[in-house]
A and B are shown apart, each in its own frame.
Chain A
Amino acid sequence: MAKEKTYVEDIDRSMYDFRNEEKDEFRIEEGLTPDIILEISKEKNDPEWMRDFRLKSLDIYNKKQVPDWGPSIEGLDMDNIVTYVRPNTKRMAKDWNDVPDEIKDTFERLGIPQAERKSLAGVGAQYDSELVYHNVKDEVAAQGVIYTDIESALRGEYADMIRSHFMKLVPPTDHKFAALHGAVWSGGSFVYVPKGVHVDIPLQSYFRLNAKGAGQFEHTLIIVDDDAYLHFIEGCSAPKYNVANLHAGCVELYVGKNSTLRYSTIENWSKNMYNLNTKRARVEEGGKVEWISGSFGSHVSYLYPMSILAGRGARAEFTGVTFAGRGQNLDTGCKMVHSAPDTSSYVSTRSISKDGGISTFRSSVVVNSQAKNSKSSVSCQSLMLDAESRSDTIPAMDIRTQQADIGHEAKIGRISDDAVFYLMSRGLSEEDARALIVSGFADNVGKELPLEYAVEMNNLIRLEMKGSIG
C-alpha cells in the first residue's frame, strides 16, 4: 500500500491572489534618481526637511552595498521597481462608502471592514502607497489617542513629534534598504498614546500590494507615552505576480516609562516578494515591548525586529513563527540590546520548513557593560517537514558584563510518526493530522493572537500544508 507522493506546486492562494486592473492616475518612471525623489516629495507635499531627508537618504542608498551575509537578493532589480504608485482615489476617505469599489472589494475579501466592526479599535488600510481608509472609533479618539496616516501627521499638530522621532531609531545609514526607505517611503501609520492611557481594544492596520512591480515602503511610527498600554496589529498580504516585488517598510516603536506596547504581525506576502523590512523598538525604564510575529509567504525575507532596552528594568519579549515552503528563503529572528541594568529579554521562536524551503533563525543578544543584572533567554525550535528542507539557527551573543544571566536553547525536529498515527487512529486524515501538529507547533504565536488572527494563521498553515503528504 504505497502512498503516492502528492505535491502541489503552490498552495491555492486564490483567496489572496486576486488582482484588480490597474487604474492609477499617476505612475512615475521606473528606476531611482533624485528627480524621481523630488517628484515623490512634491506629489506628497512634503515639508522642506522631509524633502531634504529623502535626498540625503537617496545619497546614502547609492553608496551602500547590498548585504552579503543573508539569502540572495539577486532577483531584485531596483531599476524595475516602480517606487510609487498611488491609487486613483481621494486621499483618506473617512467613510467606507467613499472608497472606490474595486479597492473596497479587495478589503472586503480580506475581511477588513467586518473585522473593524467586530472588535478592532481602528483600522488603517493601505492600498498600494496611500492610506485610503482610516478611522478610529470615537471612544479611542476621546481618550486622546492619535491614529492617522503619517503624511497628514507631518503637517498637523504632531509635526514636531514626527520630526523628532522619524527614522531616529532606524537611521537611513543603518543599511541599504533603510536608506531606500528614507528616500521613497510612502504611506503608513502614526499612533500616539498619551500618558496614562490604556487602549483596551487593539488598533489594526492592513497593508496590501496590488500594482505589478510596485514596491511598498510604508512607515509605521508608534509612540506610547509613559504609563500607557497599546496593542497594535499589522497584517500584510499581497497578490502574486511574476515580476519581483519589494517591500522595505520601517517600523519604529517608542515605549515610554512603565508602558507596554504589544506589536502583532502576521505577514503573508505573495511568493515573489522580497521582504526587507526593518523594525525597531526603544523601551524606557520599566517599560515593555512584546513582539508577536508570524512570517508567511515572500520569496526572500530579512526580518529581525530589534529591541533596545534603554531604561532600568525595561523588558522585551519576542514570540515568532516562520513558515518557509517551496522556493522560499526566510531569514528571520530578532535582536535584543540590553543598555541598562535589570533589563530582561525573552525570545521564543518556531520555524517550519517544507518542500525545500529554507528557514534560518538569526538572533543577536547584546548586553552592554552597564546592563548589570540583566537576563536573557532565547529558545528556538525548528520543524523540518521533509528531508529536502533546511533549517538553520545562528545565535550570536555579545555579553560585556559578568553580572548577566544568559540562556540559549535550540531544537530541531521532525513530525513524529507516532503522533500522526495517534491522530489518524481517531479518524483524522494524514493531511489533517500533520496540519494539526504544525499548528500546535506554532501555538506559541497562535495563543498570543486575538482569536480571529489565530484562526487566520491556522488557515494559512492549513493552506501551506495542503498536498504535503509524502
Chain B
Amino acid sequence: MADILLQVKDLSVSVEDKDILKGLNLEVRKGETHVLMGPNGAGKSTLGNALMGNPNYIVKSGDIIFNGKSILDEPVNQRAKDGLFMSFQNPLEVPGISLSNFIRNALENRTGERIRLWDFRKKIAASMDVLQMDHSYAERDLNVGFSGGEKKKAEILQLLMLNPSLAILDETDSGLDVDAVRTVSKGVEEYQKNRDGSLIIITHSTRILESLHVDATHVLVDGTIVEDGDASLVDEINENGFERFIKEETKEA
C-alpha cells in the first residue's frame, strides 16, 4: 500500500521498567486524521513519545515503519527530518533563542538550505495571524514567560512552519479556554486542509475536533487499542465515557 505513511506493528514500550504499551497496532495513511482517546494512564502520550523517539521510552518489541522504513534506530532529530512532529503537552522554556530564530534554525536544519529572511518573515507573520498571535512573540525567547495558551499556540506555529508529513498533537487542547481551543483548532485545520498533513490527535475532549475532519478514532486502554471506529465514535465517548471499553478489557482479563 503505497499511501501508508505510518505503521505501528505490535509495539511494546516501557518507561522506567514499567510496561506501558503492550503490542499496539496502528496504521495511518497520507492525509488522514486519527484521534486517539482513552482513560488516563492508558499509554496515549507514551505512544507519541515512542514515535518521536524519546530516549526515556524503551521499545521492547515491535516496529515503527514510517515512509516505508523502520525508524526505531533513528535518533530524534533524524525522525524530525523524516517528517515527524510532536506538539508537546508541556513545551519547555529555552532562554537565549527567540521563537522565530528557533523555527528558522529548525527549518534550515531540516532542509539543509538557507532560508531567505524576507520570505521567512512573511511566512511566519501569516501563520501567526492564523493563530491570532501577537507578532511580538516571534522575537521573545522560546516559550519563556509564555502563558499555557501561548505555549500551545507556539507549538502549532511550529507545526505550520515546519510542515511535517505527520504531526502528533499530545493533548494540545488541555488547559485551554474555549476561545484558545478554537484558535488552536483553526491552526490545525490549516495544516490539515491546506498542507495535506496527517495527524494523530491525542485528546480528552472533543472541542478541538469540532471543525476538523476525522478519518478514524481509536480507543486506547491499558496499552492496546481496544476499539477502532470512525468520527462517530468520538461522539459516543463524549456521551458515555470509557466505561464500556474498560469493562470489556476486564472481561477479557
Contacts and interface: CB of A to CB of B under 8 A. Distances in A.
Given A417-B56, A421-B55, A427 B109 contact: yes
Interface stretch (A153-161, A204-212, A355-363, A439-447): A439-447
Contacts of B85: 425
B52 interface: yes
Contact of A424 (B72, B80, B94): B80
A436 B91 contact: no
Contacts of A436: 94, 96-97
Given A417-B56, A429-B77, A440-B96, A422 B109 contact: no
Interface string B93-136: 01111000010011001100000000000000000000000000
B88 interface: yes
A397 interface: no
A423 interface: yes
Is the contact region of chain A dominated by helix, strand, or loop, or is it mixed?
Answer: helix
Contacts of B86: 425
A416 B73 contact: no
A433 B95 CA distance: 12
A426 B162 contact: yes
Interface in A407-457: 416-419, 421-430, 432-433, 436-437, 439-443, 446
A430 B77 contact: yes
A421 B105 CA distance: 16
Contacts of A440: 94-97, 141
B2 interface: no
A278 to B, nearest CB: 31
B94 A427 contact: no
A128 B86 CA distance: 54
A446 to B, nearest CB: 6
Contacts of B110: 427
A432 B77 CA distance: 11
A15 interface: no
A273 B158 CA distance: 45
A394 interface: no
Contacts of B162: 426-427
A422 B91 contact: yes
A419 B94 contact: yes
B76 interface: yes
A160 B239 CA distance: 90
Contacts of B105: 428
Contacts of B204: none
A1 interface: yes
Contacts of B55: 417, 421
Contacts, number: 73
B77 A427 contact: yes
A425 B56 CA distance: 14
B238 interface: no
A424 B55 CA distance: 11
A422 B91 CA distance: 7
A427 B104 CA distance: 11
A47 B236 CA distance: 95
Contacts of A416: 92
Contacts of B76: 421, 424-425
B131 to A, nearest CB: 17
A423 B94 contact: yes
Given A422-B92, A426-B162, A1 B52 contact: no
B56 A427 contact: no
Q: Which of A424, A427, A428 has the most CB of B within 10 A?
A: A427
B97 A427 contact: no
B104 to A, nearest CB: 11
A441 B97 CA distance: 11
B54 A426 contact: no
Given A426-B162, A428-B109, A419 B92 contact: yes
Contacts of A428: 77, 105-106, 109
B102 A439 contact: no
Contacts of A419: 92, 94
Interface in B58-80: 72-73, 75-77, 79-80
Nearest to B72: A1
B78 to A, nearest CB: 9
A432 B80 CA distance: 14
B140 interface: no
A441 B92 contact: no
Contacts of B102: 426
Q: Which of B53, B55, B94, B96 has the most CB of A within 10 A?
A: B96
Contacts of B141: 440, 443
A212 B76 CA distance: 46
A381 to B, nearest CB: 12
Given A426-B102, A429-B77, A430-B75, A421 B96 contact: no
Contacts of B52: 421, 425
Contacts of B95: 440-441, 443
B9 interface: no
Contacts of A417: 55-56
A426 B97 contact: no
A441 to B, nearest CB: 7
A1 B106 CA distance: 24
Contacts of A425: 52-53, 76-77, 79-80, 85-86, 88
Nearest to B80: A427
B94 A437 contact: yes
Interface string A81-100: 00000000000000000000
26 contacts: A416-B92, A417-B55, A418-B92, A419-B94, A422-B88, A423-B94, A424-B75, A424-B77, A425-B52, A425-B53, A425-B76, A425-B85, A425-B86, A425-B88, A426-B162, A427-B80, A427-B81, A427-B110, A428-B77, A433-B77, A436-B94, A439-B96, A440-B95, A440-B97, A441-B95, A443-B96
Interface of A: 1, 416-419, 421-430, 432-433, 436-437, 439-443, 446
Closest 9 pairs (CB-CB, A-B)? A440-B96, A424-B76, A443-B96, A427-B80, A426-B106, A440-B95, A427-B109, A424-B77, A427-B110
Interface of B: 52-56, 72-73, 75-77, 79-81, 85-86, 88, 91-92, 94-97, 102, 105-106, 109-110, 141, 158, 162
Given A426-B109, A427-B77, A443-B95, 4 more contacts: A418-B92, A419-B92, A422-B92, A430-B75
